[in-house]
Chain A
Amino acid sequence: MLSIKNLQVKLEDEDKQILKGVDLEIKGGEVHAIMGPNGSGKSTLSYVLSGKGGYEVTGGSAALEGVDLLEMEPEERAAAGLFLAFQYPVEIPGVGNMTFLRTAVNAQRKARGEEEMSAAEFLKVVRARAKDLKIDADMLKRPVNMGFSGGEKKRNEILQMAMLEPKMCILDETDSGLDVDAMKLVSEGVNALRSEGRGFLVITHYQRLLDHIKPDVVHIMSDGRIIKTGGPDLALEVENNGYADILAEVV
């Protein structure tokens, strides 16, 4: 599904290397988690994969189902099936959440040569998905993320994911700013989307989220590289002992 080989990335305006050769292979149906100390390059990886500006790829490759992601515009990556749930979802005054969702869904369908969703059909689907995530009608009517609480913003991200049905989902610290109940709700939303044809990359600081979204593989990232890969137990080890032991082990 997602194949990253020796990916090296620096900041565009600064001579600062962030990713120093990341290798990652995620198959359909798998959930991978990336943990790591602050500043290790986790969020940068998610931004570079989704096409955010400000970064320069200096080496390596990233492909989704064999198609080179790095050459594509952000919207083309989205249409190809990549989705990033933002750590800090952006507030957009003046654009209604419904308009935003429908624009996104239909733009992707159009890009893939599929028929656009009718207003009635869209409304039906979005209402059902929103209900599962306990997102009320008022939130759908409001401008995108405006006046949403931290939890509402994250639920809104999952709603977008549910509507767009991507092949590869990247969740960037989706647990940050969530209380226990909200985390459960968001996790349930994610788990409902787990399927054979869909891969997940979950970036998190805490084991807690991984109690709800059970990963198949856990990676530890440090200083722009993945330094250790293991099973779910690796996350527990981090939770109990911190990163110090693992970092020492590698060096």
Chain B
Amino acid sequence: MADAVAKTDPTEAMIAARSMPKGTWVQPLREDALARLRAMGLPQRRDEYWKYTRPDTLTQADAPLAAVLEADEAPMFADVDCLQIVFVDGEFDSEASDDLNLEGITIERLATSDTDLHWAKNLYGVLETRGQSPVARPLAALNTAFATDGILIHVTGKPSKPVNLTYHHKSESSDAILHHCIKLDAGAEMTLLENGPAAARFNKVLEVEVGDDASFHHIRTQGRDHERRAATHIFARLGTQSAFRSFTMTVNGVLTRNECVIELTGDDAIANVAGACVGDGEFLHDDTVFITHDAVNCQSRQVFKKVLRNGATGIFQGKILVKAGAQKTDGYQISQSLLLDGDSQFLAKPELEIYADDVACSHGSTSGAIDEDALFYLRSRGAPEAEATNLLTLAFLAEAVDEIEHEDLREDITNRLGAWLQRHRG
């Protein structure tokens, strides 16, 4: 009977296809997540929240195959002095990783963390659960239940260098689930880097608790493998006068759904989320952001730029919710696409829901082609058409890239985008 159900119900089929890893403190949290997942079921095509992105290939029991890209570029962040942690198709690579020791933080792996009085008990799946309302995010619950590994970082001070999570993709059938938790104590600071395609299909959750006066920087790139699929979630909760800044660069990938759920729960907190993506051909990129203002005098910014060509699709669903009492909220949201041909499309759903009366919120969404006057101006000065187009395209992306505070990383990201444009000229 159970088999029959599994065959007809995608959620049960997904659950039947994997086994829950064994753990100590995390075990009840996984069981809770499994119950949540069963209660809500995996996303389906008719779900409003999945109106623009078909969830089928993310919810089928086995990952669709994805060819492995032969690297022809230096690895991302190769020149950055950082603590390196490497996963290959979702499995921790101890040989390639540095010792998990860095002053100001403690780092552990989820798979080997067995202390019963663990701090992460109060974080693992907790922010994810909060993020399940008002919109269900079943793929995140699936992650909490079945993540095979992940990194648990407790930031107590100001570590001297970033932690860099590198995700290699080496098997064309890999189906990876990783779950990271980061807790920043009051006044702590850290920068997290993430890079790489990770697997044929990658489900990742990152939960971040940013304490009072703490600051979290996050810069992520998602690899260049054309056929890889990713469903990622960031859940963050911000304390008083804290700052959260996250930037994502996505090039290629047949399907990417990046969800970001942020709660500003302390006064005077700042949350910035930005993304620059470029896609050519069979490419669908979905940024889904939900920012809740639940404190006074907080700022949030969402800056998303997408460059699309040859039938690529870009999606943006972004919401700012200002709760009653969240006065002096300053919310800004912009999502723009540059369509390099007539075949590509951009679908945007910006939303504001405001229950306080003294707030400033703005949102804008545009879709357009290269500015012909600017193109002619550049060409009349000698820049060949392709070069002029690339210059204007990079300029379009710059508003999102400029959200990165570290100058070297900003330059690095700009160079990668420039290199992509060189490879994909029209």
Contacts and interface: CB of A to CB of B under 8 A. Distances in A.
Interface string B386-426: 01100110111011000000000000000000000000000
Interface residues of B, number: 23
Interface stretch (A8-16, A83-91, A216-224, A235-243): A83-91
Given A53-B372, A74-B379, A92 B384 contact: no
Interface string A18-62: 000000000000000000000000000000001111000000000
B342 interface: no
A103 B391 contact: yes
B382 A75 contact: yes
A143 B398 CA distance: 12
B380 interface: yes
Interface stretch (A104-112, A120-128, A185-193, A203-211): A104-112
B376 interface: yes
B373 interface: yes
Q: How large is the interface on A (under 10, 10 to 19, 20 to 34, 35 or more residues)?
A: 20 to 34
Contacts of B374: 90, 92
A77 B381 CA distance: 9
Interface in B365-385: 371-374, 376-385
A50 B383 CA distance: 13
A164 B377 contact: no
Most-contacted residue by chain A among B371, B373, B374, B380 (CB, 10 A): B380
Contacts of A143: 395
Contacts of A74: 376, 379-380
A209 to B, nearest CB: 22
Contacts of B382: 75, 78-79, 104-105, 107-108, 111, 164
Interface string A135-148: 00000000110000
Most-contacted residue by chain A among B373, B377, B379, B399 (CB, 10 A): B377
Contact of B380 (A84, A94, A95, A103): A84
A55 to B, nearest CB: 12
B396 A94 contact: yes
Nearest to A80: B382
A160 interface: yes
Contacts of B399: 94
B384 A75 contact: yes
A79 B382 CA distance: 6
B382 to A, nearest CB: 4
Contacts of B387: 103, 107
A103 B379 contact: no
B334 to A, nearest CB: 13
Contacts of A195: none
B395 A95 contact: yes
Contact of B381 (A53, A78, A94): A78
Contact of A51 (B372, B378, B379, B384): B379
A90 B395 contact: no
A35 B332 CA distance: 50
A-B pairs, 6 with minimum CB distance: A94-B395, A104-B381, A108-B382, A78-B382, A74-B379, A90-B377
Interface of B: 371-374, 376-385, 387-388, 391-392, 394-396, 398-399
Interface of A: 50-53, 73-75, 77-79, 83-84, 86, 89-90, 92-95, 99-100, 103-105, 107-108, 111, 143-144, 160, 164
Given A75-B383, A90-B373, 15 more contacts: A50-B380, A51-B379, A53-B376, A78-B381, A92-B377, A94-B394, A94-B396, A94-B398, A95-B391, A99-B391, A100-B381, A103-B381, A103-B387, A107-B387, A164-B382
26 contacts: A50-B380, A53-B372, A73-B385, A74-B376, A74-B380, A75-B379, A75-B383, A75-B384, A83-B380, A86-B380, A90-B373, A90-B376, A92-B377, A92-B378, A93-B395, A94-B392, A94-B394, A94-B399, A99-B391, A103-B378, A103-B391, A104-B378, A104-B381, A108-B381, A111-B382, A164-B381
